[in-house]
Amino acid sequence: MSNIEEIIYKHTLINAVKHKGKANNGAVMGSLMATHAELRSESKKIAQITSKILIKVNLMDYELQKSELQKLGGIKEKKPVKEKGLVDLPDVKGKVVLRFAPNPSGPLHIGHARAAVLNNEYVKRYGGKLILRIEDTDPRRVDPKAYQMIEEDLKWLGVKWQEKHIQSSRIETYYEYAEKLIEIGKAYICTCKGADFKVLKDESKPCPCRELSVKHNRKLWDRMKTMDEGEAVLRVKTDIQHKNPAIRDWVAMRVVNDKHPLTGDKYKIYPMMNFSVAVDDHLMGVTHVLRGKDHLANSEKQKYLYNHFGWDIPVFIHYGRLKMEDVALSTSKARQGIDEGLYRGWDDPRLGTIRAIARRGIKQKAITELMMEIGPKISDATVSWKKVYGLNRTILEEISNR
Ligand SMILES: [Zn+2]
């Protein structure tokens, strides 16, 4: 009998002994899943084994069930696993597809660790896959060294991804969907000056470009490829009277004059984050999106795209801000400090990067436990170093006791 079979056998016996010799399938499965979180990702397989074992146990007479259970240590049950703060994901239908999608503007910091760890833990809990997606469609916010640093940081965090995509290599895909959107009349090229558009938008008035024909927009789209930054943008039609002005006909594509560190000057038109994110989440089959609540308006913007294309909207989960006592979390501030010689590098212990935390002697497991405890709750959280060192001490003791 394998280890798993023995666990199931014992749970079935306990249930049978409690219920006059007849174990109940649902009750046995429930007790298994509650006490052995590691089995949840294989619940189908576990259910098959359980039904076989159940038949066998229910054919035994009551005395035999009791003596078999004694051999396995009696009725003492393991306490249900308490997953500190890590609540179940809503609306899970079978396996999940999750993604961790950082900008390659620097190495990961503690805020990223939350998204990475939670996505990773949920994939472990429900089965499915984790996608690592590098969102590098703003050529000015790319640090070529960050691609590798991100992977190193994720490995340190114990996060495993099953698929990796780099958005700058998917530009043609974004063009394809931009063209589709133009064809169905749900997007238009706007050649207004930014300031002029803003005046109209703030008054809930459409700009003159909004009413132009699909044919005209097709031509403009071709011309946009040779235009200069600021001359034209592609806008998604939303509700020009939406209560939040930021959502009114948001920009999907723009021209950027700068060269991209990976693709050079191959492309001039780049998708804005909301466009590439929604297209990718759909094409990659993402079921649940975990993101900070500062993205609430972005989720709202993206819903327009899903509706225009007739796509199913993934489940969006917005969590609160995470602050870390006494550290600079902003990548741009950290970079500036490094450039000015204030910090000695990305692993300077005064920073909130993963490598700085590692350098302080914090173990990966302490960070994972911390993130599971905080979970994806919507309220803001401030983490103190006292807390982190406390968790770390427990882990170091566990290691030395072994
Ligand atoms: Zn316009």
| Tens of pLDDT, residues 256-271 | 999 999 999 999 999 9
- Per-residue pLDDT, averaged over 308-313, amounts to 98
pLDDT number for residue 84:
53
What distance in angstroms lies between residue 188's CA and the mean position of ligand 1's atoms?
8
Q: Among 295, 292, 290, 297, which residue's Cα sits nearest to residue 316?
A: 290
Angle at 108 between CA 102 and CA 113, to 5 degrees: 85
What distance in angstroms lies between residue 87's CA and the mean position of ligand 1's atoms?
45
pLDDT > 60? residue 77 = no
What distance in angstroms lies between residue 248's CA and the mean position of ligand 1's atoms?
12
Model pTM greater than 0.85? no
pLDDT number for residue 4:
84
pLDDT number for residue 23:
92
H/E stretch holding 229 reads none
19-72 pLDDT tens trace: 888 999 888 888 888 888 778 888 888 889 999 998 999 999 988 898 888 888
What distance in angstroms lies between residue 209's CA and the mean position of ligand 1's atoms?
4
What distance in angstroms lies between residue 232's CA and the mean position of ligand 1's atoms?
8
pLDDT number for residue 45:
87
What distance in angstroms lies between residue 192's CA and the mean position of ligand 1's atoms?
4
What distance in angstroms lies between residue 138's CA and the mean position of ligand 1's atoms?
23
The pair of three-digit structure tokens given for residue 278, joined into one six-digit string: 């929604």
What distance in angstroms lies between residue 262's CA and the mean position of ligand 1's atoms?
31
Distance CA(151)–CA(106), nearest Å, equals 11
What distance in angstroms lies between residue 235's CA and the mean position of ligand 1's atoms?
9
Q: Among 286, 369, 312, 331, which residue's Cα sits nearest to residue 117?
A: 369
Spatial CB neighbours of 337, under 8 Å, sequence gap ≥ 6:
328, 343, 351
pLDDT > 90? residue 326 = no
Per-residue pLDDT band for 80 (boundaries 50, 70, 90) equals low
Alpha-helical runs (H) found in 72-193: 110-126, 146-157, 171-183
pLDDT number for residue 15:
87
